[in-house]
Amino acid sequence: MAVLVVPSLSVRDARIAFDGHLVADRLSFDAPAGQTTCLLGRSGVGKTSLLRHLAGLLPGTTRAAPLAYMAQQDRLLPWLGVLDNVLLGYRLRGDEAARRAAEPRARALLAEVGLGDRLSALPRTLSGGMRQRVALARTLCEDRPVILMDEPFAQLDAVTRLDLQDLAVRLLAGRTAVLVTHDPLEALRVGHEVRVLHGSPFTVGTVIAPPGPVPRDPADPALLALQARLIRDLRGTA
Amino acid sequence: MRPLITALGLLAAWELLVRLTGVPTYILPPPSRIASVLVDRFDLLLEQAIWTGAEMILGFALGLALGAALAIVFAASAGWRRWALPLVIVSQAIPVIAVAPLLVLWLGYGMASKVAMAALVIFFPVVSSLYDGLRRTDEGWLELARTMDAPPRAILLQIKLPAALPAFASGARIAAAVAPIGAVIGEWVGASAGLGYLMTQQLARGQTPLAFAALFVLCLLGLGLYTATDRLLRQLVPWQSFQGD
C-alpha cells in the first residue's frame, strides 16, 4: 500500500444555502487528521450538507484531498457485478495495473462484508442491506486518505451493523474519516470524536471524545452514560 | 395462442364477407385465394422478400449506427450540440415521403436509395432516444464518478452510455418497427425489385391477390425484424427487468 499523506479537514466561516434556505452560516469545523469524526444530529439538520461541503460536491466548494465518498444511496451500477462495482474507481481511472493490484483487496473486502460468494451477482439480485455492504466495500477499496460516509450502516440488521462497524474501524485506521449517523451509540462506538449538530441554521457542538480505543464495547457503562447524555442533548434541541 | 385465434377468426370473417357479398377478386380477394397465390408464387415472393429484407436490415443498421454516433457526439460536445442539434430537430419537419423521389434521383433505382430511405426514417427516433438517455444519467452516479476522479471520457463511456442503453433500446424498437416503411416507400417511388415494387406493379395490373400476398410477406418481414431486435436488446440490457412478460 502506498504511504498516504493524511490531511486534516477544516471548514472556516462557511455558508451553506440551497434555494434560499440557509443551512449553515459562519460555520467552522475541524476533523483531525488520521481520526474518525462522527457527525450526529436529527434528520434534516444538515449533516449530509456538511459532508457534501467537505467532499467539494456543493456549488462553490472544492475538496481538500483525494477522498472516497459514500452516499446514503448505494449508487451501485446495475449493469456491473458486485466485484466490478467495488473496483469501479479503478475502472473509471483507466489504470489497468492499479486495478489488477486492487483486485485481491476487493475480493478480501467482499469476503469480509459477507459477499465473497456473490462476486458476479448483479445489484438487483441483492437485498438493500447487501447492496449497502457492497457500497461500503467499494468505498474502503478506494484506499484514499480521506473517507466521508453518510449513514453507511443504516440499512443493516443489528448484528451485521456491529460487525461492519468493527470492520470499518479497522480499515479507517490512520485515515481521516467523517461519518454521518443519527445513532448515538454508533457514533460513540466508532468515533474518536463525536460532534452534535443542532439548530437551524445548524451549529456544530463541542468535541465529545469518549475514552478508550475504537471500536468501543457497546455494553461499557461509561459509553451508555454518554449515550444517555447525547440523547438528552439531541431531544432538548429539537 | 390467443392472438392466433383472434387472427384466424378475423380471416374467417373476411372469407365469409367476400363470399356473401360477391366482391370481385381484384377489389378484395378472399384469404383462401391469397393463400393459394402464396404457395403458387412462392419463388417470386421469396426472391423479392430477400431484396426488401436486405434493404430493411441495411437501412436499419445504417440508421442505428449513424443515429447512435450522432447522439454520442451531441452528448460529448457542447459545440456540436449548439450547431447541429437544432438542425436535426428541424429536419423532422420535412416529410420523409417527399424526400423519397429525390433519393431515387440521386441514388438511382437500385438498393442504395431504399437503404438511405429506411436509414432516414429511423435516424431521428434513434438520435433522440439515445441523446435523451445520455442526458438523464442519475446524478448520484455522476457524483460518485467525479469523487473517483474519473476523466470525462470514462464517465461518458462507462457510466452515461450503459445508463442510456434502456432508452436507446426503446428507440431501436421503434426503429425496427418503422424501417420497413422506409424501404417500401422507396420502392413505391421507383424501383426494379422488392415487395413494395411487386405490390404497385401487380395492383396496376389488377393482380390484387398477388399484391396481397406480397403485403403478407412484408408483414412477416417487419415482424421478424422487430422480434429479432427485441431479443437482441434484451441481451444487451440484461439488468433491466421487464414487467408484464
Inter-chain Cβ pairs, chain A and chain B, closer than 8 A: 61
Mean of pLDDT values over B63-90: 92
Please, which pLDDT band fits residue A3 given cuts at 50, 70 and 90? Answer: low
What interface predicted TM-score (ipTM) does this complex get? 0.89
| Chain B residues with beta carbon closer than 8 angstroms to that of A79 | 162, 165, 237-239
pLDDT for residue A4: 60
Closest CA to B137 of A85, A79, A131: A79
Question: pLDDT at residue A176 above 50?
Answer: yes
In this structure, are A170 and A58 located in the same domain? yes
In this structure, are A164 and A237 located in the same domain? yes
pLDDT for residue A50: 92
Domain boundary (A125, A143, A161) is at A143
Question: What's the CATH number where A9 sits?
Answer: 3.40.50.300
Those of residues 135-164 in A touching chain B at CB distance below 8 A are 142
DSSP assignments along B179-201, one per residue: HHHHHHHHHHHS-SSSHHHHHHH
Are the beta carbons of B147 and A122 separated by less than 8 Å? no
In this structure, are A58 and A100 located in the same domain? no
Question: pLDDT at residue A58 above 60?
Answer: yes
CA B40 to chain centre: 29
Residue A93: all three cell numbers together: 481511472
B157 vs chain A: nearest CA distance in angstroms? 9
CB-based contact, A88 to chain B, within 8 Å: yes
- Pick the residue with more confidence: B241 or A160? A160
pLDDT for residue B63: 95
Question: pLDDT at residue B244 above 50?
Answer: no
pLDDT for residue A18: 81
Among chain B residues, the shortest Cα distance to A56 is held by B147
Question: pLDDT at residue B83 above 80?
Answer: yes
pLDDT for residue B245: 40
Closest residue to A92, CB basis, from B158, B238, B240: B158
| Chain B residues with beta carbon closer than 8 angstroms to that of A82 | none
A91 vs chain B: nearest CA distance in angstroms? 9
Residue B127: all three cell numbers together: 438520435
Are the beta carbons of A77 and B159 separated by less than 8 Å? yes
In tens, the pLDDT along B197-218 reads: 999 999 999 999 999 999 999 9
pLDDT for residue B107: 92
In this structure, are A53 and A40 located in the same domain? yes
Question: Which pTM does this prediction carry?
Answer: 0.84
In tens, the pLDDT along A142-168 reads: 989 999 999 999 888 999 899 999 999
Domain span at A119 = 74-143
Closest residue to A75, CB basis, from B144, B151, B158: B144
Please, which pLDDT band fits residue B58 given cuts at 50, 70 and 90? Answer: very high
Are the beta carbons of B147 and A55 separated by less than 8 Å? yes
Please, which pLDDT band fits residue B241 given cuts at 50, 70 and 90? Answer: low
Those of residues 47-66 in A touching chain B at CB distance below 8 A are 55, 57, 63, 66
Domain boundary (A143, A169, A187) is at A143
The percent of residues in chain B predicted with pLDDT above 90, rounded, is 75
In this structure, are A227 and A158 located in the same domain? yes
Number of domains in chain A: 2
Are the beta carbons of A122 and B239 separated by less than 8 Å? yes
Which domains can be identified in chain B, with CATH numbers? 34-234 (1.10.3720.10)
Mean pLDDT (chain B, rounded): 91
**Structural contact between residues A167 and A112, judged by C-beta atoms closer than 8 angstroms:** yes
Closest CA to B167 of B80, B74, B79, B71: B71
Are the beta carbons of B149 and A91 separated by less than 8 Å? no
Going A156 to A161 to A167 to A172, the CA torsion angle's sign is positive
